[in-house]
Amino acid sequence: MSIKTPPQSPPAWTHTPDQIASQTAAIIEYTKKLDDEVSADAEFTFESVVKRLANADNIRYGQVNQLTFYQHVSSDKALRDASRAAEEKFREFDIEASMREDLFKAVNTVFKKDPVVDPESKRLLQKINKDFERNGLALPLEKREELKALQKKLSNLEVKYNKALGEENGFILFTEEELLGVPKDIVNSYDVVDGKRKMTFKYPDLFPVMKYAKNPDTRRRAFVGDQNKVKENGDLLIEAVKIRAQIASILGYATHAAYILEERMAKSPDHVLTFLTDLRSKLAGIGQNEIKKLLALKEEDEKALGISHDTEFNVWDYRYFDRLLLEKEYKVDSQKISEYFPLQSTVEKMLSIFENLFALKFVEVADLEKSAWHPDVKQFAVWKDGLVEDEFVGWLYFDLHPRDGKYGHAANFNLSPGYTDKNGKRVYPVTALVCNFSKPTADKPSLLKHDEVVTFFHELGHGIHDLVSVTTYGRFHGTNVARDFVEAPSQMLEYWCWQPTQLKSLSSHYLEPSQTIDENLIANIVQSKHVNGGLFNLRQLHFALFDLKLHTSDGNIDVNKEWNQGREEVSLMKQGSEMTYGYGSFGHLMGGYDSGYYGYLWSQVFAADIFYTKFKANPMYTPVGLQYRDTILKRGGSREELDNLKELLGREPNNDAFLHELGVGSH
């Protein structure tokens, strides 16, 4: 296509710490003034109240998201600190605004009139009114003041917890001998301190040690060090759990989980517990058989290394023996496979899959003078492939390598939602993928392991959800769906990374680009998909059950026992006499997934159902891709998720495909 100029410029990433502070103050001042005006309105109509608030929110979401995003990606500590301070101020202001009786009165008056408006506007009115009710606006003043104080305290705890996690810079020094088995190029990438190699707890450093170090004590030290890297955060989490329980109680809910789940697809803690318990019982037998197999492999390995046999299967053994099993029985050599997935070409080929499936075009924009926050970042203008003319859909950023102070996992950040402005003009979304893949070296490009290919595809799925969504209001845009559905679209797209044809099309050897991955390696990867799947999902169940246990309590709970004993009982792996404090770095619980971690497993039910029903027969069939794009992704959260699913599937969703995938059902 001829390169056209997008109708909307990308954001400028030129803020200074002072500008972040002044813009934060200006946004808050403007929003407060608007809230005052709306509350003082004499008429209380949909246009004068809800529409005005929504129009302001549409613009504000993007402004706030950009200012608070720097904390995750900027290499300038002063900018990160200013961004974090801005988030605290926005959170405090939002708490104040959400507790305004006069604003609730205005919205509630419109709600009671029930004006005849379009379905998305009606949903918006219902949601805003419900938000106020859930914030306790129907309570007496003294209770509201108590709630406000608790919510501010909770917000500060969450910011403090995430700051400690984001700024974490711990490490362990290992001798070269202790790192025996870890690939040489990885060991050589570690800094040298006092004659030893410095392993940080960033994933590209940590995971190779957990997967390859032959010395079990090296693995144990790496695992325990990582678990305990921000031990002090544990107290913040417990304090937060207690405050959440208090807030729920004041609002008339039995527990924090009951409060949260009211707005989710699952609806109640009992429903979630039944789902998790049932899944645990189905997976326990599979997990025990997998442990037996891994223990036999462990005995064999220890014999070959001349190490005395340890009859327990420890949690720090998992990644090492999982990798060994894949190599020995399934001939899955992660290092060898990664040679076929150099980052640059793999990403280009992934984008072409989305281009074919969803009729999109990605055009890289090289001039990043003011358009990105770091030189590593790539930026794309994204277009919808039209019959007559291409239609712009939004901006996409990739920030893919680790650096000091940067967010340490893989995630998609919506930087600005799409919406229709007050003049009826379309405003387009801006979204970013932030990942931590190994950096290129002097003699090798960045190479992706197969699980990293899956991770990238997953996060790109969230980005695509953001880009192709078309809603009137920013509140419902893209991934702004029920939290226990949000992962389903991305989990569904992971299936492409296990299809032989797609794997071949994604591959290209980094030394000989014309050489794709051979059929045998592909067969081995596909065969290995559910190897130790029981243990993998039991680990997820441990996290989900831990989260639910915390948030159905009042916070007076032995968190160490729940974390450590719970892990041994649920995940079936031992940790000897080690006491770990991994809940201090369980960022989900202080980042919006409180009472929601079950959602990763819950949404897999929908992901499997969609893939098996619509795509399994022909994963690259564009008409089905477009149907899925327009029924699920395009609508964002503007309709009930279950209604969209039923429309796509032609029936109620079920868990048959999910259980089949786990090996506990037939399909």
Same-domain pairing of 348 and 458: yes
CA 438/CA 440 separation, integer angstroms: 7
The answer to whether residue 338 sits within a structural domain is no
Compute the average pLDDT of residues 207-215. 97
Same-domain pairing of 24 and 108: yes
Same-domain pairing of 428 and 481: yes
- How many Cα atoms within 13 Å fall on the side-chain side of residue 354? 30
Asked whether 359 and 622 are in contact (CB, 8 A), the reply is yes
DSSP letters along 268-293, please?
Answer: SHHHHHHHHHHHHHHHHHHHHHHHHH
What pLDDT band is residue 1 in, cutting at 50, 70 and 90? Answer: very low
Q: Check if 329 is active-site.
A: no
Same-domain pairing of 349 and 409: yes
Same-domain pairing of 209 and 75: no
User: pTM of the predicted model, to two decimals?
Assistant: 0.89
Query: Where among 198, 227, 256 does a domain terminate?
Result: 227
Beta strands in 386-446 (DSSP E): 391-399, 411-416, 419-420, 426-427, 430-434
Asked whether 477 and 469 are in contact (CB, 8 A), the reply is yes
Query: 186 lies in which domain range?
Result: 169-227
The answer to whether residue 288 sits within a structural domain is no
Same-domain pairing of 56 and 183: no
Q: Which residues pair with 199 in a beta bridge?
A: 172
Same-domain pairing of 434 and 509: yes
Asked whether 69 and 413 are in contact (CB, 8 A), the reply is yes
Kindly report the CATH number assigned to the domain that includes residue 633. Answer: 1.10.1370.40
Tell me how many domains the chain contains. 3
Q: Are strands 430-434 and 411-416 parallel, antiparallel or unpaired?
A: antiparallel
Same-domain pairing of 129 and 203: no
Residue 355 pLDDT > 90, yes or no?
yes
The 10 Å CB-count burial string (b at 16+, else e) for 163-201 is bbbbebeebbebeeebbebbeeebbeebeeeeebbebbb
Q: Is 592 left (phi over 0), alpha (psi -120 to 50) or beta?
A: left
pLDDT in tens, 470-513: 999 999 999 999 999 999 999 999 999 999 999 999 999 999 99
Q: What is the mean pLDDT of the chain?
A: 95
Query: Where among 108, 134, 160 does a domain terminate?
Result: 134
The answer to whether residue 263 sits within a structural domain is no
pLDDT in tens, 313-345: 999 999 999 999 999 999 998 899 999 999 999
Query: Where among 227, 243, 262 does a domain terminate?
Result: 227
The answer to whether residue 279 sits within a structural domain is no
Name which of 312, 228, 207, 164 is nearest 580 in CA terms.
228
Same-domain pairing of 487 and 633: yes
What pLDDT band is residue 116 in, cutting at 50, 70 and 90? Answer: confident
The answer to whether residue 119 sits within a structural domain is yes
The answer to whether residue 595 sits within a structural domain is no
pLDDT in tens, 640-660: 999 999 999 999 999 999 989
User: Rg of the chain over CA atoms, in angstroms?
Assistant: 25
At 259, list the tokens. 């409060």
The answer to whether residue 249 sits within a structural domain is no
Residue 390: count of CB within 10 angstroms of its CB: 17
**Catalytic-labelled residue, pool 158, 168, 452, 459:** 459
At 181, list the tokens. 């088995």
Same-domain pairing of 428 and 516: yes
pLDDT in tens, 121-165: 999 999 999 999 999 998 999 999 999 999 999 999 999 999 999
Same-domain pairing of 111 and 203: no
Same-domain pairing of 179 and 126: no
